[in-house]
Structure 1
Amino acid sequence: MATFDYAEMQAVADELITEFGQQGTVTRITSSGPSYDPTQTTTEYPCRLVIMEIDISKVDGTLIEATDKMGYVSVVGLPIALTTADKITIDGKPHAMKIVKPLSPAGTTVVYEIIIAA
């Protein structure tokens, strides 16, 4: 029986996001040093993403609001795993990521599904 190639699905997702999406930047702030006087370092990672209106069925009125946006971020070329502590910049405007969900069948992350504050 043939096995499914999830790496190929990564490439297909990246191709679609590249064709129909846009460039963005993931910003991660890390702290080092003593807790009473930490040094914060900001690192920016370019990414490819597609952003769209949120599916109304996802709106719960508390964490997810009707003004939020959802999207997909390509993992190809992205050296970090996204977290909700990261910020994502789209068209020069930073957004908080409320939800970051890696789509990882069989342990291979194909794409990240995100919900951002608008």
Structure 2
Amino acid sequence: MAQFDYTRPRATADRLIKRYGQAGAIRRTTTSGPAYDPETVTTDHACQLAVMQYTDDKIDGTLIMRGDKLVYLSTAGLSIEPSTADKVVIRGEEHATVYVKPLSPAGLVVFYEIQARR
């Protein structure tokens, strides 16, 4: 049985996020150097993302709070794998990353779903 090729759905997701989304960034902060004199470097990684509001039936006040944003992050041109330690920059405003969930059937990441909180 032939395995399904997910490169076309990935290209479709990238195209739709670019068309209906916006430019943003994943902000990653790294620390290096000795513990007594660490150096902190913050780097913005450009990306394309589509930002939506959670519907009222999804907001439970504990896991998903009012004001949280549902972000679909395109893999096109993305040089890093986002994590909860990163920040998401939406329209110039920094948001905390509550969770990151890759949609990755058969090991190929089609896009990332991120819950962002201000």
TM over 0.5: yes
Q: Kindly report the root-mean-square deviation, in angstroms, between the aligned alpha carbons of the 2 structures.
A: 1.4
The letter for the 2-side match of 1:92 is G
Secondary structure of the equivalent of 1:43?
strand
Unaligned runs of 5+ in 1: none
Secondary structure of the equivalent of 2:9?
helix
* 2:78 counterpart of 1:78: yes
| Aligned mates of 1:108, 1:55 — CA distance in 2 | 28
2:116 is matched with 116
Where do 4+ consecutive residues of structure 1 move more than 4 Å? none
Unaligned runs of 5+ in 2: none
The letter for the 2-side match of 1:6 is Y
* 2:33 counterpart of 1:33: yes
| Aligned mates of 1:3, 1:57 — CA distance in 2 | 36
Identical aligned residues as a percent: 50
TM-score by length of 1: 0.92
Secondary structure of the equivalent of 1:51?
strand
- Per-residue deviation, residues 60-97 of structure 1 (Å, max 9, x unmatched): 32232022110200011101000011111111111111
Secondary structure of the equivalent of 2:24?
strand
